[in-house]
Amino acid sequence: MVEIKTDTALDAMREAGRIVAQALAAARDVAGVGVSLQELDEAARTVLTKAGASSPFLGYQPSFAPTPFPAVLCTSVNDAVAHGVPTDYRLCDGDLVSIDCGAELDGWTGDAAISFTVGTPRPADLALIDATQRALDAGIAAAVPGNRIGDISHAIGTIAEAARCGMPADFGGHGIGRTMHEDPHVPNRGRPRRGFRLRHGLTLAIEPMLMAGGHDDYYTALDGWTLRTTDGSRAAHIEHTIAITEEGPRILTLP
C-alpha cells in the first residue's frame, strides 16, 4: 500500500532527513587514508545518538540477508556497489567510497547516500561519481505530480546508458516514510509513462547505483550483504529522500 503524506508529515520527514545529511557529512569528514570503515560508522552513530534518532539499518534483516545488519552505515569501497559492512579495513589513497545512512526520528524516516574519493582521485572515478549524481538529478527532476514512476526510472537509466555504466537490476529506489522501505519500488531503468502516478505527498528514496564496467552483473560477498561487481569495476551510489509536491521535488535529506 502506498501512503500519501500530509504536509505536516513531510516537515517531520525533513527533520529526519536533516539528521541523515549530518551523519553522512560527519562520516565523510573523518574519512581519509588510514581511517577504518568502523571509524566512519562511529562518526555517524554519534550524530544519530546526539540527535535522539535511531538507525533503520542497525539490526535490519531482509529476506536475502543471512544475518541482521550490524551497523548504522553501509560502507562500500571500490568494486562494492552497496550494502557494504563497516569493518576494520583502512582506507587507502585513491579509494572510491560510497556511504549510505538512514535515521528514524519521531516515527519518520530518512535515507541517503553519497560517493567520494579518498586521497588522490582517479579521473575515471570522478567521472563515475559525476554520472551517478547526474542520474540522481535527472530522476529527481522527473519526480513531479502527473508523472509516473517509470518517468523517474527512464530519466536515471538514460543517463547511465549514455555514460556506458551498468546498474544492478534487482536494486533501486523505494517508497519511504514510517519505515525505510515502503511501496512503490523505484527501478533505475524503466519506460516513461508507466507505473504508479506521482502526486503531492508521495515520498521516495531515489538511488542510482552505477557500475563503471558497463555490465549489470554483481554478486553477494561472503558477508551476505556486500554487493560487488563481477568484473571488478568500480561503483558509485548516490541517494536522496524526496517528496513530490505541487511546487516541485522537495529534497528531504539536505543538511
C-alpha 18, offset from chain centre? 15
Using the predicted structure, report yes or no on whether residue 208 has a pLDDT greater than 90. Answer: yes
- Read off the pLDDT of residues 135-186 as tens digits, 9 standing for 90 and up: 999 999 999 999 999 999 999 999 999 999 999 988 999 999 999 999 999 9
Q: What is the pLDDT at residue 169?
A: 87
Q: Strand, coil or helix: what is 11?
A: helix
Model pTM?
Answer: 0.97
> Which stretches does DSSP call E strand in the chain?
73-77, 80-82, 96-105, 108-117, 173-175, 182-186, 203-206, 209-211, 218-220, 227-229, 235-237, 240-243, 250-251
- Read off the pLDDT of residues 54-95 as tens digits, 9 standing for 90 and up: 999 999 999 989 999 999 999 999 999 999 999 999 999 999
Q: What is the pLDDT at residue 111?
A: 98
| Mean pLDDT of the chain, nearest integer | 98
